[in-house]
Structure 1
Amino acid sequence: MSPETPAAGAASGARSLPHPSREDIRLAQVLHALADPMRLRIVCVLAAADDELNCADIELPVSKSTCTHHYRVLREHGVIQQVYRGTAKMNGLRRDDLDTLFPGLIDGVLRAAGLQDHRLKEAR
């Protein structure tokens, strides 16, 4: 993983966090990040929002430290981008990078997650 270059975060005065470059993102790492139900939920919410969200905007039924772990895995594996704005850590899906590297992957994962949610709700 290479350190983040001072791009948008530095221009806006925000603190930056290390992110892999597009070239360093690997399919196995992305699939690993998406394999966890909490991380998949985060990605689904970010995709639906189509904008950056604060960590607190996404409710997860786990402790704060576990949430931090899940966001870090997603960031370190190239699935999301995080940047501090003031005291808020904002999260955005790296949709352009993922679609360029793995065309159709995120759309397929989101579609499958939606079908799974529907199937599980019907089973109740």
Structure 2
Amino acid sequence: MSTRSSIPIADPNLLDQPAREQIRLETVLHAFADPVRMGIVRDLAVGRSDMSCISFHLPVSKSTATHHFRVLREAGVISQHKRGTARVSRLRYEDLDALFPGLLDSVIHGDRAQRARDLA
């Protein structure tokens, strides 16, 4: 069992991520600070379900997208696991809400409000 994983490493397809108690507010806020990463969070928040990396339409190269997913995963914002040849991502909504109640909802709401202002 990895000391960093919040899920037992009996699943070899789970990518390394911090355990709930290791998630730090400043790291989560840093992960939210990039528009591409906020786009990933926004897309995942719509259904809070698993999405493969190929499902995202990101305005960056594949290697840069990989970096953004890694930042989100290492911050504890998302979890990822391998499904065949794909990497599947999911928001760690329950973990974030337990540690920082209302933060994720507030960030997503603020992002939507900002996008609406930008479009006006």
In the TM superposition, structure 1's runs of 4+ consecutive aligned residues that sit over 3 Å from their partners are none
The equivalent residue for 1:44 is 42
Note if contact 1:2-1:18 (Cα within 8 Å) is conserved in structure 2: no
- After the TM superposition, which residues 1-124 of structure 1 pair with which residues of structure 2 at under 5 Å, given as runs? 2-4=3-5, 5-7=8-10, 10=11, 15-122=13-120
1:52 and 1:108, CA in 2 relative to 1: closer, same or farther beyond 3 A?
same
After superposition, what is the alpha-carbon deviation per residue over 1:28-63, rounded to whole angstroms, capped at 9, x for unaligned? 000000000000110010010221100011110000
Give the residue type in structure 2 aligned to 1:111: H
Distance 2:105 2:13 in 1: 30
After superposition, what is the alpha-carbon deviation per residue over 1:79-119, rounded to whole angstroms, capped at 9, x for unaligned? 00000011110000000000000001001000000000100
Distance 1:48 1:2 in 2: 30
Percent identical pairs in the alignment equals 50
1:3 Cα deviation from its structure 2 partner: 3.6
Instruction: Could you tell me which runs of 5 or more consecutive residues in structure 2 were left unpaired when the two chains were aligned.
Output: none
**Alignment: residue pair count:** 117
Note if contact 1:33-1:39 (Cα within 8 Å) is conserved in structure 2: yes
1:17 Cα deviation from its structure 2 partner: 1.1
Superposed CA RMSD: 1.4
1:2 Cα deviation from its structure 2 partner: 3.7
TM normalised by structure 1 equals: 0.90
Distance 1:59 1:76 in 2: 21
